[in-house]
Amino acid sequence: MKKTTLLFLYGAVLVFAAVACETLLPGTPANDALLDGPIAELTPEQNALFLAGDAAFNNEIFTPATGLGPIFVATSCGSCHAGDGKGHPFTTLTRFGQSDETGNQFMHQGGPQLQNRAISGHTPEQLPKGAAFSNFMPPANTGLGLLGALSDEQILANADPADKDGDGISGVPNWIAPPHFFKSQWYHKPQNDKYIGRFGKKAAAIDLLHQTVNAYKQDMGITSEFDSEDPINYAVSGQAGDLADDPEVSSAKINAVVFYLRTLKVPVQRTADDADVMSGKALFMSTDCGKCHTAQWKTPQSDVAVLSNQTFAPYTDLLLHDMGSSLDDGYTEGTAKTSEWRTPPLWGLGLSKNSQGGRVFLLHDGRAHSVDEAIRMHGGEATKSRGKYVALTDTDRSKLLKFLDSL
Amino acid sequence: MKHTLLLLIGIVLLMAPAQAQTDSTSAFNQLFGRDTTLRTKDQQLKLNMDATYDRPFLTANKMPVSVGGYLEANTQYMQTDGITEGLSFQARRMTIFLASSINRRIKFLSEIEFEDGTKEINIEFAAMDIELHPLVNLRGGIIMNPIGSFNQNHDGPKWEFIDRPLSSITIIPSTWSNVGFGLYGKKYTRDWVWAYEAYLTNGFDDQIIANNQNRTFLPATKANRDRFEESFNGVPLVTLKSAIKRRKIGEIGLSWMGGVFNKFQDDGLTLDKRRRVDVWALDFNTTLPMGTYINGELVWASIDVPATYTQQFGRMQQGGWVDIVQPLVRKRMLGWNKAVVNAALRVERVDYNVGTFAETGDPIRDDIWAIVPGISFRPSPTTVIRGNYRYHWQTDLLGNPPARTAGFQFGFSTYF
């Protein structure tokens, strides 16, 4: 081969490589297309803690050797929250044992959560006979830090237990007995030694540490210094049966995961300036959907500077509402009634399909397969709003749905 | 342990006198070209199972031991959805061969591999072969389980691609070797060769469904160093392979390995039922009249994952790859006689979890598609300098939008 040919080939490869570097490497998806990633302006120290929590949440896979189970629901946090989004029916979990405000009557039979899987040689739990239960779809994780930074007074300001304004919408907090490791903060306002729950379908977790410790134990069978006993299948034995030393994760790791959850970014609304989306938002408010799905909040001072004084739009009031008999599974938590559910945040709703395998599974157990279907399943305090939605013209309904899809 | 091994290898290498020569340079030149026109008639009837001995060795004067090996190193720049870890340099592996003809019909060969520096040091092969009859050879020691073609024929300098095929390293745990014994043999006719292999070895353990990959992952067993000392459950892994090749057409091989992977009893007490893992592989290679070399492997694995375990861990896996290598230029270049420039393309897919979700009936995903075009330059048949561009799409279990990874790799591999 002539030297000139070789030089030409060499040059062609170099040019190809230079061009290819720009065009053949997959680019970053748009910021508004992803739920994961940190809130802006964390300090380098906070970035390091966020990354540690990210690794523990998304990359750490538990095995029998590292403490998984012996009975469990999932092998990692990320298994239930792909890309920090909503879960999938495959990871839907079952809570059981409580049918009124008097507490869970099935704690001695493995309540409040069913561990429906088991490591080799162990037997998963079965629902005890006669136990009320409900299936819970794992929620998205985004923006939790801002919800956690709100004060109890702010939440209580929207409560209307006696429906004094006569709009048919009450809204009550779920009062939760705190776990032994809970530390009260200035923004908490307890009543009778109980605190307002903010997280979970029934708002049964007071803060993100409470939520995280419970998830490690109840979802993965992982003990920590905060809760050092593995879940037990009482139908087999009264004793926990895995052979990994306890605690199976350190407090440092739990705290890193809590920080990660606190500092995950807020979902970014897409096409907010679109005329249909703006009309849809107006329709959302005029149909009174926004009475529970509260559009705007502002955080008070927080120990994490970037969470302080932030105005944000989660579309939730963090209160419980009676959703009617069709969504009443007969199971409850805390002081909530069985028909009461915490208003779920709607931010990130339009990205749900990206974490649920291309489809959507909405409402507490994923029974609704579209936003329209979910709205039509609203009852109880939402009956009037549902009626207004159904009465909209097709064009207006599609605008309202377009707005929700933009969140 | 690492230092002792390094010292021993160093001593052996130092014992080789300076005038050591390859036992037949011309023969090696014939061995490793992708073009069968470089091969003698005997070479055209070599099978993948012959790769163990089909390597260049240095033989010192009057020394009973032959020494050889290969080195692989590369650099790469990869990016996943806009995120890159930057430029990395990798010394993927250095492998030392030690071989000896104890007798005309008794041979010993070993292959010691250092991966990623000294992060992993493995005796991948250390076996004695005794020929009782051309159709009945006894092999014992640490052997490569003959499943598929890549596990048998994996030396870096033989490949135009920097990454090993995904299905051959993540479904078949290449390089997969175990302690055991077995038989192999070959039958030649004028244009045909047929061969078989049959081994009993130690096998898998329950890490294949209890690992930090969050999927059924047969290579997780490689972390069990005890498998060279004792079987995890006392049940041998059976590996069978049969291959047939016709001169000027190609080779096709069919292989299976199967056994029990869990500890079903301990101290005489029953812990679980026996749970099987079975792997089937079909491999093939041929050279088209225009010199195009086609090589491929398909693999299927069936794993008896407990019904009470999570669906995250697949009961069935499948995958495969096809490599196409086209010599573009073969002539004297830059002072090298018979240098070759090849264009190459690999297409591969792995599906780690074949099935449907019990809850929805939707397909379970957890799969990867990859396409890898490349170009290689072989100044001599035993050395390859190669550049690859790799693009792959990894879809999670649920079928969410795939993570896209792509990048450039440049490296070399050479026998020494």
Taking only the tens place, the pLDDT of each residue in B167-224 is: 999 999 988 999 999 999 999 998 999 999 999 999 999 999 999 999 999 999 998 8
Q: Does A217 touch chain B (CB under 8 A)?
A: no
The per-residue pLDDT for A300 is: 97
pLDDT at A12: 67
Q: Write out the residue range of the structural domain in which residue A103 sits.
A: 44-406
- Mean pLDDT confidence for A303-308: 96
Instruction: Suggest the residue from B400, B408, B409, B410 to mutate for an interface test with chain A (most A CBs closer than 10 A).
Output: B400
Measured in angstroms, the CA of A36 and the nearest CA of chain B are apart by: 13
The rounded distance, in Å, linking the Cα atoms of A194 and A215 is 21
CA distances from B351 to A194, B171, B187 (A): 50, 9, 36
Q: Mark which residues 115-144 of A lie under 8 Å from B by CB.
A: 117-124
Q: How far is A257 from chain B (nearest CA, A)?
A: 18
> Quick one: pLDDT at residue B119?
86
A292-296 mean pLDDT: 94
The Cα–Cα gap between B211 and A55 comes to 16
Nearest CB to B310 within list A21, A89, A117:
A117
User: Which of A75, A94, A137 to mutate: most B Cβ within 10 Å?
Assistant: A75
Mutate to test the interface with A, among B77, B83, B212 (most CBs of A within 10 A): B212
Which chain B residues are within 8 Å of A75, Cβ to Cβ? 214, 310, 312
B365 CB neighbours in chain A (<8 A) are: 357
Does any CB of chain B come closer than 8 Å to the CB of residue A83? yes
pLDDT at A2: 55
pLDDT of residue B17: 38
A356 touches chain B (CB under 8 A): yes
Closest alpha carbon to A269 in A143, A360, A386? A143
| pLDDT score, position A16 | 64
Measured from the Cβ of residue B29, the count of other Cβ atoms closer than 10 Å reads 17
* Greatest pairwise CA separation for chain B in angstroms: 70
The whole-number average pLDDT for the span A43-58 is 97
pLDDT of residue A238: 81
Determine, yes or no, domain membership for A12.
Answer: no
> How much is the mean pLDDT over chain A?
93
- Lowest mean pLDDT of A19-28, A292-301, A309-318, B375-384, name the range: A19-28
Q: What integer best gives the mean pLDDT of chain B? A: 88
- With 0-12 CB in 10 A as exposed, 13-18 as middle and 19+ as buried, what is A179? middle
Residue B164's SS3 state is coil
Residues B67 and B44: their CA atoms lie apart, in Å, by 25
Q: Considering only alpha carbons, which residue of chain A is nearest residue B305?
A: A120
- With a CB cutoff of 8 Å and minimum separation 6, the contacts of B33 are B39, B338, B340, B378, B381
Residues A75, B310: C-beta atoms closer than 8 Å: yes
Residues of A (266-325) whose Cβ lies below 8 Å from B: none
Nearest-angstrom CA–CA distance, B33 and B39:
8
A133/A113 Cα distance (integer angstroms): 9
Average pLDDT rounded to a whole number, residues B313-327: 97
Say whether pLDDT at B347 is over 50.
yes
CB atoms A61 and B212 under 8 Å: yes
Q: How far lies B406's CA from each of A24, A205, B93, B300, B342, in Å?
A: 7, 42, 23, 26, 22
Q: Do A1 and B331 touch (CB under 8 A)?
A: yes
Least confident of A8-17, A230-239, A262-271, A334-343: A8-17
What ranges do the domains of chain B cover? 2-415
Instruction: Residue B359: list chain A partners with CB under 8 A.
Output: 88-90, 92
Q: A8 is written with which tokens?
A: 């030409």
- Whether this model's ipTM surpasses 0.90 comes out as no
pLDDT of residue B174: 87
Closest in B80, B272, B310 to A121, CB measured: B272
Query: Are A117 and B396 inside 8 Å of each other by CB?
Result: no
Verify whether the Cβ–Cβ distance A26 to B405 is below 8 Å: yes
Chain A residues in contact with B212 (beta carbon < 8 A):
60-61, 63
Inter-chain residue contact B83 with A28, CB threshold 8 Å: yes
Phi, psi dihedrals of residue A95, rounded to the nearest 5°: -105, 145
**A261 pLDDT band (50/70/90 cuts)?**
very high
Phi and psi of B48, rounded to 5°? Answer: -60, -35
For residue B358, which residues of chain A lie inside 8 Å, CB to CB?
90
Nearest to B360 among A68, A82, A89 (CB): A89
Map tokens 């159709």 to a residue: B135
H helix runs in B47-198, sequence order = 166-170
Residues of B in contact with A358 (CB under 8 A): 399-400
Q: A61 contacts in B (CB within 8 Å)? A: 211-214
Which has more pLDDT, B39 or B233? B233
pLDDT value of residue B41: 52
Instruction: Measure the CA dihedral A188/A192/A194/A196, to 10°.
Output: -50
A339 Cβ contact partners less than 8 Å away, ≥ 6 residues apart: A322, A323, A324, A325, A327, A328, A380
What is the average per-residue pLDDT within A71-98? 95
The alpha carbons of chain A give a radius of gyration, in whole angstroms, of 24
CB contact under 8 A, B362 and A79: no
Domain for residue A22, yes or no? no
Give chain B positions within 8 Å (CB) of A29. Answer: 81-82
The mean pLDDT value for A280-295 works out to 96
Query: For the domain with range B2-415, which CATH number is right: 3.40.50.300, 3.30.420.40, 2.40.160.10, 3.90.1170.50?
Result: 2.40.160.10
Residue range B145-167, pLDDT digits in tens: 999 999 999 999 999 999 999 99
A26: in domain: no
Nearest beta carbon to residue A121 from set B83, B271, B357: B271
* Length in residues, chain A: 407
Chain A residues touching B221 at Cβ < 8 A: none
Q: What is the pLDDT of residue A21?
A: 57
pLDDT, mean of residues B5-27: 42
In the block, which residue shows the tokens 């087999």?
A236
| Amino acid A354: pLDDT | 95
- Asked if the Cβ–Cβ distance from B214 to A354 is below 8 Å, we say no
Interface A-B: count of C-beta contacts within 8 A:
109
Instruction: Give the model's confidence band at B30: pLDDT under 50 very low, under 70 low, under 90 confident, else very high.
Output: very low
* Closest chain B residue to the Cα of A354, Cα to Cα: B400
Residue B388: closest CA among chain A residues belongs to which residue?
Answer: A17
Q: Does A354 touch chain B (CB under 8 A)?
A: yes
B409 vs A19, A341, B81, B370, CA distance in Å? 15, 53, 18, 14
For residue A11, the model assigns a pLDDT of 62
* Record: contact B359-A117, CB cut-off 8 A: no
Mean of the pLDDT values across residues B396-409?
A: 95
For residue A194, the 8-state DSSP code is B
Residue B30 parent element (H or E) = helix B25-31
Number of H helices, E strands in chain A: 11, 11
Residue B38 pLDDT: 39
Confidence of residue B43 (pLDDT cuts 50, 70, 90): low
> For the segment A226-245, what is each residue's pLDDT rounded down to a tens digit?
999 999 999 998 887 788 99
Give a yes or no: residue A294 inside a domain: yes
Distance CA A54, CA B344 (A): 39
Give contacts of A123 with chain B, Cβ < 8 Å: 308
* Residue A30, domain member (yes or no): no
Residue A38, domain member (yes or no): no
In this prediction, residue A268 has a pLDDT band, given cuts at 50, 70 and 90, of: very high
The mean pLDDT of B239-262, rounded to a whole number, is: 96
Q: What 8-state DSSP symbol labels residue A221?
A: -
A235 CB neighbours in chain B (<8 A) are none
Cβ contact B82–A29 (<8 Å) = yes
Q: B367: which residues sit within 8 A by CB, 6+ positions away?
A: B349, B350, B351, B352, B353, B394, B395
Across the interface, do A26 and B362 touch by the CB < 8 Å criterion? no
Which residue, among A24, A34, A63, would best test binding to B if mutated, counting the most B CBs under 10 Å from its CB?
A63
Total number of domains constituting chain A: 1
Q: How far is A386 from chain B (nearest CA, A)?
A: 28
Q: Is the pLDDT of residue A170 over 70?
A: yes
User: A284-293, B51-60, B259-268, B313-322: which has the minimum mean pLDDT?
Assistant: B51-60
CA distance B384 to B156: 9
Separation in Å, CA of A138 to nearest CA in chain B:
14
Which class for A395: exposed (0-12), middle (13-18), buried (19 or more C-beta within 10 A)? exposed
pLDDT at residue B271 tops 80: yes
The per-residue pLDDT for A14 is 59
Report helix, strand or coil for A387: helix
Distance from the Cα of residue A239 to its chain's centroid? 31
Kindly report the nearest CA distance between residue B308 and chain A, in angstroms: 5
Q: Do the chains contact at A83 and B387, CB–CB below 8 Å?
A: no
Q: Is A6 on the interface with B (CB under 8 A)?
A: yes
Predicted confidence (pLDDT) at residue A180 exceeds the cutoff of 70: yes
Choose the closest CB to B213 out of A60, A61, A82. A61
Q: Which chain B residue's Cα is nearest to A7?
A: B334
